[in-house]
Chains A and B, each alone.
Chain A
């Protein structure tokens, strides 16, 4: 057993970027779902502290508002908290009734904290009974590609989640990297050359905007 698997098994591990996302089967508001059911599509798996709380309600609505944009990127959404399915259902119905927003993505009822422990969603310094505001981006091959952790007090930024998805997909499609504050349409960064010859070629290559051999951008 690897160190990561050992830690995860003990319930205090953290998943690692670039590693296979920990598999699970869980009760959700859409029935029993396995992580492997999402194979072939991207997944944004996110946790929230508790149902019927104000910041979480704003986030749930905000996630619903970007769901179509994510679907256009072949990406599904799934929420999670340490609440029961019945609580989730009641809350989703309440959001529909009071705010007029339909929550159409599944929500895991993780009462035994199984998935929360697998993914390191519980931050004991904040709360031992609630999951923090975590986001895990899992790619179609079920590899964990990005993680975002926010504290209980701070609602997440949907623009950043969309931007992250766009950046990851652009990176995969074109084998490039994206600079700070990158947005679709901006120039992308080429991975630095690994040899002296490649460095020489890079600075003389047409179509690139190079500050130096290791720092070249290009349009897509």
Chain B
């Protein structure tokens, strides 16, 4: 999985993508802020949507409540 390592921790790419979502952003903005190539951003966002961490709308991605909790744990 692009987001989660076999040991349950987040991958570096997933961390960067999650951190970039401190506010709703477009795919291109996430790519720039997270400094990740486009394929990694897309595959991570797709998985995060399945996990319920991210929701998509109006060309922008935003953290859900669950995603914010994951991010808070990451930061905290």
Interface residues, chain A, CB within 8 Å of chain B?
30-34, 36-41, 71, 76, 106
Contacts and interface: CB of A to CB of B under 8 A. Distances in A.
B43 A34 contact: yes
Interface residues of B, number: 13
B11 A31 contact: yes
B39 A33 contact: yes
A34 B47 CA distance: 12
Interface of B: 1-3, 11, 13, 37-40, 42-44, 47
Nearest to B28: A40
Nearest to B37: A76
B13 to A, nearest CB: 7
A31 B37 contact: no
Contact of B2 (A30, A36, A41, A76): A30
B59 to A, nearest CB: 14
Contacts of B13: 30
Nearest to B27: A40
8 smallest A-B Cβ distances: which pairs? A31-B2, A37-B39, A37-B42, A38-B39, A31-B1, A33-B43, A37-B43, A41-B38
